[in-house]
């Protein structure tokens, strides 16, 4: 159990900044999906252009996130956690603000790329910093708060998009990020990083994950453990209207609302998974339990037939709860690696998991024409879950690990 001093450390400025930064991160990611159609229509596009340019913008944003994960991670290990946290928040705040003033597809593309680049750094660097400044007895609570508060940004995005037009919604996200920078001024650097700063050892070497066999498999397993989360979001929830039609759901299903309910569940799940990992003193037990629960909910989702829209949204919400093991997933991703590679691992692993959306949706889209929506979802989901279970089996328990160590 944690005492009063332990809870004060959990609610430190560093944890609060990390949580609010991730809140704006998720807000922006979800906001784009919600306002994609009305924003492109406002710019004068229609018909097939809504899909074509929507895919282009999404891919550009994802490219920015994949590159940004590597870029910020390397700098986080070389230059320090705090400096990079500040820079990443500043970049995506300015990009989001600018996104509210675009009047061409070219400007939109630039803003989404820069936003993706900036968004890629916040979570990994924030998690690394929090894990290194908190004692092992409470560090899981710190990442629990970051993930719990962060994913609620999706709910905020849906509500803001319903109240304001798309330009104001983007500007709102940018302003929130700029205001957050005022708090960030009080964040202190990790003592663990400072201790290793002047050591003559390779830091932030992304290729080090691929030059050592054991480290490579540890890295890949860390990535694969998280893919069921993004399968459930990118396939079952994003394409909820298509699944609803195939499952003969009574009523109209809106993708934005399905995403909102899913993230309400994920908020509950992130808090619960993080809390249980501390109480049970085990990351792996919690990951196994939540992946199993998610497997059950995916099965329930796909077996529905002629239920009401209200019941369908309830299933989306409950599916989000076990998908909330993201809090423990990002914690384990950072705890697996030494100080000189930790920020790089913590920044690239979550973004590579997000990047898995591309092959997941590609395979799903291909199978839809062969088997139909429901069976395509079942096949892809089964593969994602099998890979996650296999990867989890090979990962080491990290709850008791002292993070003051280096990778050779």
Is residue 408 a part of any domain in this protein?
A: no
Is residue 369 a part of any domain in this protein?
A: yes
- Compute the distance between CA of residue 192 and CA of residue 399 in angstroms, rounded to an integer: 17
pLDDT at 1: 43
Is residue 255 a part of any domain in this protein?
A: yes
> Is 323 within 8 Å of 228 (Cβ atoms)?
yes
Residue 3 has pLDDT above 70, yes or no: no
Each residue's pLDDT tens digit, 74-91? 998 888 888 888 899 899
β-sheet bridge partners, residue 308: 250
Q: How many domains does the chain have?
A: 1
Distance of alpha carbon 167 from the chain centroid: 24
- Compute the distance between CA of residue 84 and CA of residue 300 in angstroms, rounded to an integer: 42
- Compute the distance between CA of residue 332 and CA of residue 289 in angstroms, rounded to an integer: 15
CATH number for the domain that contains residue 88? 1.20.1250.20
Is residue 358 a part of any domain in this protein?
A: yes
Residue of 255, 206, 232, 181 lying closest to 71 (CA atoms): 206
Both tokens of 283, joined, read: 């990351």
> Is 374 within 8 Å of 247 (Cβ atoms)?
yes
- Compute the distance between CA of residue 132 and CA of residue 126 in angstroms, rounded to an integer: 10
pLDDT at 7: 55
pLDDT at 9: 61
Query: What average pLDDT does range 23-50 have in this prediction?
Result: 87
Is residue 399 a part of any domain in this protein?
A: no
- Confidence category of residue 55, pLDDT binned at 50, 70, 90: confident
**Domain span at residue 353?**
4-184+204-394
Both tokens of 38, joined, read: 């009305």
pLDDT at 8: 61
> pTM surpassing 0.75?
yes
Each residue's pLDDT tens digit, 288-308? 999 999 999 999 999 999 899
**Exposed, middle or buried by CB within 10 Å (0-12, 13-18, 19+), for 244?**
buried
Is residue 404 a part of any domain in this protein?
A: no
Residue 195 has pLDDT above 90, yes or no: no
- Confidence category of residue 268, pLDDT binned at 50, 70, 90: very high
- Compute the distance between CA of residue 94 and CA of residue 173 in angstroms, rounded to an integer: 9
- Confidence category of residue 382, pLDDT binned at 50, 70, 90: very high
Is residue 87 a part of any domain in this protein?
A: yes
Is residue 192 a part of any domain in this protein?
A: no
Which strand (E) or helix (H) includes residue 24? Answer: helix 13-42
- Residue that wins the pLDDT comparison between 188 and 218: 218
* CB neighbourhood size of 185 (10 A): 10
Q: Pseudo-torsion of CA 269, 220, 240, 293, nearest 10°?
A: -40
- Portion of the chain with pLDDT greater than 70, in percent: 98
Query: What average pLDDT does range 324-338 have in this prediction?
Result: 91
Residue 324 has pLDDT above 70, yes or no: yes
Residue 196 has pLDDT above 80, yes or no: no
118: left (phi over 0), alpha (psi -120 to 50) or beta: alpha
Residue 408 has pLDDT above 90, yes or no: no
Query: What average pLDDT does range 42-66 have in this prediction?
Result: 84
Residue of 62, 144, 157, 115 lying closest to 351 (CA atoms): 62
pLDDT at 226: 95
């Amino acid at each position: 159990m944690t005492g009063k001093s332990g809870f004060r450390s959990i609610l430190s400025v560093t944890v609060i900044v990390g949580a609010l930064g991730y809140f704006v991160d998720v807000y922006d990611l979800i906001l784009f999906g919600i306002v994609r159609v009305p924003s492109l229509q406002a710019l004068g596009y229609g018909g097939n252009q809504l899909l074509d340019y929507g895919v282009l913008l999404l891919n550009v944003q994802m490219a920015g996130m994949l590159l940004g994960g590597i870029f910020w991670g390397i700098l986080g290990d070389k230059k320090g956690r705090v400096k990079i946290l500040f820079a990443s928040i500043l970049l995506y705040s300015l990009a989001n603000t600018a996104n509210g003033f675009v009047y061409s597809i070219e400007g939109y593309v630039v803003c989404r790329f820069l936003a993706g680049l900036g968004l890629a750094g916040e979570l990994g660097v924030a998690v690394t910093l929090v894990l290194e400044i908190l004692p092992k007895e409470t560090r899981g609570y710190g990442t629990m708060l970051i993930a719990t508060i962060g994913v609620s940004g999706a709910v905020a995005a849906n509500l803001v998009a319903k109240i304001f037009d798309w330009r104001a919604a983007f500007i709102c996200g940018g302003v929130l990020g700029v205001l957050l920078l005022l708090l960030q001024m009080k964040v202190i650097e990790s003592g663990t990083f400072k201790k290793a700063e002047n050591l003559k050892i390779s830091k932030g070497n992304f290729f080090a994950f691929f030059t050592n066999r054991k480290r490579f498999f540890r890295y890949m397993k860390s990535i694969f453990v998280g893919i069921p989360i993004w399968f459930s979001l990118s396939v079952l929830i994003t394409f909820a209207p298509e699944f609803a039609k195939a499952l003969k759901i009574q009523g109209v299903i809106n993708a934005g609302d399905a995403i909102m309910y899913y993230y309400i569940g994920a908020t509950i799940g992130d808090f619960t998974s993080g809390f249980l990992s501390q109480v049970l003193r085990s990351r792996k037990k919690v990951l196994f339990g939540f992946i199993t629960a998610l497997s059950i909910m995916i099965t329930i989702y796909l077996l529905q037939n002629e239920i009401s829209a209200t019941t369908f949204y309830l299933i989306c919400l409950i599916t989000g709860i076990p998908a909330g093991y993201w809090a423990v997933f990002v914690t384990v991703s950072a705890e697996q690696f030494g100080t000189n590679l930790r920020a790089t691992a913590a920044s690239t692993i979550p973004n590579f998991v997000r990047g898995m959306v591309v092959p997941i949706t590609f395979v799903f889209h291909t199978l839809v024409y062969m088997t139909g929506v429901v069976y395509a979802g079942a096949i892809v989901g089964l593969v994602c879950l099998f890979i996650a279970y296999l990867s989890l089996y090979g990962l080491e328990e990290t709850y008791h690990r002292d993070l003051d160590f280096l990778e050779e």
